[in-house]
Amino acid sequence: MSKRPPPLPAQAADMRMQMALRQIGFGAAAPAPPRPQTSDEALALKRRDWLLDVMERQRELSPYASGLLTAENLSGEDFLHSFYAPGRPVLIKGMIADWPALARWTPDYLANAIGDAMIEYQGGRNGAGDYELAKDRHKHRAPFRDFIALARSGGNDAYLTAYNSAANGPALKPLEADLGAIDAYLTRAPGMLWIGGEGTFTPLHFDLTNNLLAQVTGTKRIILVPPSQTKRLAHRTHVFSDVRDVTDAAQLKTYPQARDILRYEVLLAPGDLLYIPLGWWHQVRSESFSTMLTYTSFLWSNAGHEGYPAG
């Protein structure tokens, strides 16, 4: 008889579901090498890429249809009609500026609030090119206070990410009292927390859900690339590009087709929200000690992941 895992507390189960939906198959074994394409398949792909190029050029005729817009006080109706439904990213300035966490979440405050409770984070990332794909191999555990000391010292080696949310739900629960709600766009399901030092780097990928990033502490520099650019991004493994960093000259030498892609740069500051629609490529670098939440629990359907050909 097979052993069933013990039931998860409701919050952890909800987070696990949100995480599973974001990037289905995350941490799975490397897919089998692709078989050679038939000439019919190659032609069908070329035609699809042609269509995406033409549609992108047409959108570029209007700053409302292309580009990255910045908004303030964006109502739920306007968010739905202008951004969520059309699948367009938007930076919403200052939307959560009144959350108590904005004034409180320094490294010292966090360390004192959670103390030595054991938490899970992604570790041993330095020198490992596969830390996003092989997520399970990089799971580490430490008292929260020690993790904060690591994050405070900066670098990319240690990062508490959304992938650790299900494991950390109970330990980090006291922090929820510092958060508000975004009732115009989201249900009250908890967000997934990211905590890291200056220099954490999440390589270029897309998610299988629409995502809302909510920046609490510090700043992050985010590069967004529309789905129309996919053919230039060596998309071979799951939701990842072989071009991990489109700003890195050495990588652009290896992948010259990624040099002139259409891309937008965002500086996400405390109090800001960034909506990243499903399929939009993004890479993220922290410019300082940073805390951020990601949410997928929109008031509207977010089920694009269903039927993703994961390979």
Ligand X SMILES: O=C(O)CCC(=O)C(=O)O
* Residues contributing to the site for ligand X (CB under 6 A): 162, 194, 200, 202, 207, 211, 213, 220, 282, 284, 292, 294
Nearest-approach distance from CB 265 to ligand X, in angstroms: 15
How far out from the chain centre does Cα 263 lie?
A: 16
In this structure, how many other beta carbons lie within 10 angstroms of the beta carbon of residue 136?
10
Taking alpha carbons only, the member of 270, 231, 267, 263 closest to residue 245 is 263
| Rounded (10°) angle between helices 165-172 and 10-22 | 150
Beta pairing class for 264-268 and 240-241: unpaired
Give, as one character, the DSSP assignment of residue 83. Answer: I
CA–CA distance, 55 with 16 (Å, rounded to integer) = 36
Nearest-approach distance from CB 234 to ligand X, in angstroms: 18
Nearest-approach distance from CB 32 to ligand X, in angstroms: 26
In this structure, how many other beta carbons lie within 10 angstroms of the beta carbon of residue 35?
6
Nearest-approach distance from CB 284 to ligand X, in angstroms: 4
Taking alpha carbons only, the member of 99, 98, 80 closest to residue 275 is 80
Q: Using the minimum distance from each CB to ligand X, give the nearer residue, 224 or 261.
A: 224
Amino acid (one-letter) located at 98: D
Nearest-approach distance from CB 202 to ligand X, in angstroms: 4
Q: Using the minimum distance from each CB to ligand X, give the nearer residue, 202 or 228.
A: 202
Q: Using the minimum distance from each CB to ligand X, give the nearer residue, 263 or 282.
A: 282
Nearest-approach distance from CB 35 to ligand X, in angstroms: 30
Q: Using the minimum distance from each CB to ligand X, give the nearer residue, 7 or 24.
A: 24
Nearest-approach distance from CB 215 to ligand X, in angstroms: 9
How far out from the chain centre does Cα 121 lie?
A: 16
| Rounded (10°) angle between helices 144-152 and 107-114 | 170
Q: Using the minimum distance from each CB to ligand X, give the nearer residue, 105 or 194.
A: 194
In this structure, how many other beta carbons lie within 10 angstroms of the beta carbon of residue 118?
13
Q: Using the minimum distance from each CB to ligand X, give the nearer residue, 167 or 266.
A: 266
Q: Using the minimum distance from each CB to ligand X, give the nearer residue, 58 or 247.
A: 247
106 is written with which tokens? 């320094």
